[in-house]
Structure 1
Amino acid sequence: MGVPLLAGAGALPEQRMREACMALAEGLGQRLQHHGVGESPQQLLSEIKPDSLVRLSGDPARPLQQGGNWLEALADWRRPLLLLVLGEPGGGIAGAAAAYTALCRELGVPLVGLIQIGGDWDIQQRRRDGLPWCGWIPAASHPDHDLAVDGLVQDLRRSTIRARATAVG
Structure 2
Amino acid sequence: MISHNPILYSIGDLSKELEIAGSIAISKFTGTRVLNIACEEDPNVVLELFVKRNDIGKICGDPAMLRPSGDSWLGAIGAWKIPFILLIPPLTSGNIPGIAAAYVSLCKDLRVPLVGLIQLGGIWNSLDRKLDGLPWCGLMPDEVLRADFQINKISSLSLQQMEESMFNIRKRISLLIEKK
Paired amino acid for 2:167: Q
Aligned residues: 167
Alignment match, 1:155: 168
Spell out, residue by residue over 1:24-72, the C-alpha distance to the aligned partner (whole angstroms, 9 max, x if none).
1101111111122222211110111254311112222122243321111
Residue 146 (structure 1) aligned with residue 159 (structure 2): yes
Q: Distance in 2 between matches of 1:95 and 1:145?
A: 26
For structure 1, the 5+ residue unaligned runs are none
Partner of 2:78: 75
**Displacement, 1:151?**
1.4
Provide the identity percentage: 32
Q: 1:62 to 1:98 in 2, by over 3 A?
A: same
Greater shift after overlay, 36-45 or 48-57?
48-57
Q: Distance in 2 between matches of 1:161 and 1:109?
A: 15
- Report the aligned-residue RMSD: 2.1
SS at match of 1:112: strand
Counterpart selection for 1:29 from 10, 28, 31:
31
For the structure 1 residues 40 and 13, does the alpha-carbon distance in structure 2 shift closer, same or farther, using more than 3 Å as the test?
farther
Aligned match of 2:64: 61
Question: How far did residue 166 of structure 1 move?
Answer: 4.4
SS at match of 1:35: strand
**Shift of residue 164, structure 1, vs aligned partner:** 3.8
Deviation at residue 165 of structure 1 after TM alignment: 4.2
TM-score (norm 2): 0.82
Partner of 1:9: 11
Whether 1:118 and 2:131 are equivalent positions in the alignment is no
Trace 1:31-50 onto structure 2 (pairs within 5 A). 31-49=33-51
